[in-house]
Amino acid sequence: MNTWLTIEALGLTERATCIIDDVSLQLDAQRTVVLGPNGAGKSTLLRLIHGLLHPTGGSLNWPQPLTQAMVFQRPVMLRTTALANVIYGLKLKGYAATECERRARQALARVGLEALAKRPARLLSGGEQQRVALARAWALEPQLLILDEPTASLDPASSREVERIIKAIAGAGARILMTTHNLGQARRLADEIVFIDRGRIVEQAPVAEFFNKPRTSAAQDFLKEEIP
Ligand SMILES: Nc1ncnc2c1ncn2[C@@H]1O[C@H](COP(=O)(O)OP(=O)(O)O)[C@@H](O)[C@H]1O
Ligand SMILES: [Mg+2]
């Protein structure tokens, strides 16, 4: 894949604390997983890339602007049905009502939730809510899907289902940029790993290379400590 984002000297300083520190990065893999210890700045980096935070330094350079959607660890569900949750995002995009409903039903079917379309979203299980969030994102047909620890609150079966959906969204052509605490998941989903620590890029490598031959002692220590 061609380079889809070049990050130059990106920085975010909040109250004299440097959270993202001079990050320069070229992203060209289809599926990139950002790894790093707690507090490394993974969520902050993803939020900067999605435009939810403004950097205090540096820049994001998009060779071609990409349509984006983001999914979080805890899905934010509106107090209405699963179907209406998916329709909401489509309405904002300006689709006509019948087209909204058609696309929303199709997206729910793709995540295996067509039978729960009319259920109140907030009464669904955590795994089902995350699938609604994925349907809401997928319905928008984003060219880039950003996911911040999408399975961190889920049981193993729900996590595998979410992984299946992420693979399917990538299979439909979207770029994936995500974080996870689950190293097995990183191996299964990533083409490329970006390892960050204390707000800095420490290592960027193809997935097999990162896990088999991490170059830095920081990455070696991280892989030793984390339970796969
Ligand atoms: N709005 C904020 N103001 C000050 N510090 C913050 C803010 N958001 C995050 N941080 C701090 O920035 C660091 C990185 O946070 P985060 O991006 O959430 O890390 P990660 O996702 O890798 O665990 C942490 O030390 C966190 O406490
Ligand atoms: Mg985080």
How do residues 82-116 score in pLDDT, each as one tens digit? Answer: 999 999 999 998 999 999 999 999 999 999 999 99
In the beta sheet, which residues pair with residue 221?
Answer: none
Q: Do residues 3 and 53 share a domain?
A: yes
Residue 114 lies in a domain: yes
Contact in structure between 28 and 63 (CB atoms under 8 Å): no
Q: Do residues 126 and 157 share a domain?
A: no
Q: What is the pLDDT of residues 23-53, one digit of tens each?
A: 999 999 999 999 999 999 999 999 999 999 9
> Ligand 1 atom closest to Cα of 36?
22
- Which residue is closest in CA terms to ligand 1's atom 10? 19
| Helix (H/G/I), strand (E/B), else coil: 165 | helix
Q: How far is the CA of 62 from the centre of ligand 1 (A)?
A: 25
Q: Do residues 44 and 2 share a domain?
A: yes
Global pTM reads 0.95
State how far the Cα of 143 lies from the Cα of 4, in Å rounded to an integer.
10
Tell me the residue range of the domain where 153 lies. Answer: 1-67+142-228
> Ligand 1 atom closest to Cα of 38?
23
| Greatest alpha-carbon span in the chain | 55
Q: Do residues 177 and 152 share a domain?
A: yes
Q: Do residues 156 and 50 share a domain?
A: yes
Q: Is 7 exposed, middle or buried (0-12, 13-18, 19+ CB in 10 A)?
A: buried
Tally of structural domains, the chain:
2
> Ligand 1 atom closest to Cα of 149?
21
User: What are the backbone dihedrals phi and psi of residue 34, each rounded to the nearest 5 degrees, phi first?
Assistant: -95, 125
User: Would you tell me how many other CB atoms lie within 10 Å of the CB of residue 193?
Assistant: 25
Q: Do residues 147 and 190 share a domain?
A: yes
- Which residue is closest in CA terms to ligand 1's atom 16? 41
Q: Do residues 55 and 151 share a domain?
A: yes
- Which residue is closest in CA terms to ligand 1's atom 18? 43
Q: Do residues 136 and 147 share a domain?
A: no
Identify the domain boundary among 140, 165, 185.
140
Pocket of ligand 1 (CB under 6 A): 14, 17, 19, 36, 38-44
Identify the domain boundary among 140, 171, 191.
140
In the beta sheet, which residues pair with residue 69?
Answer: 145
Residue 72 lies in a domain: no
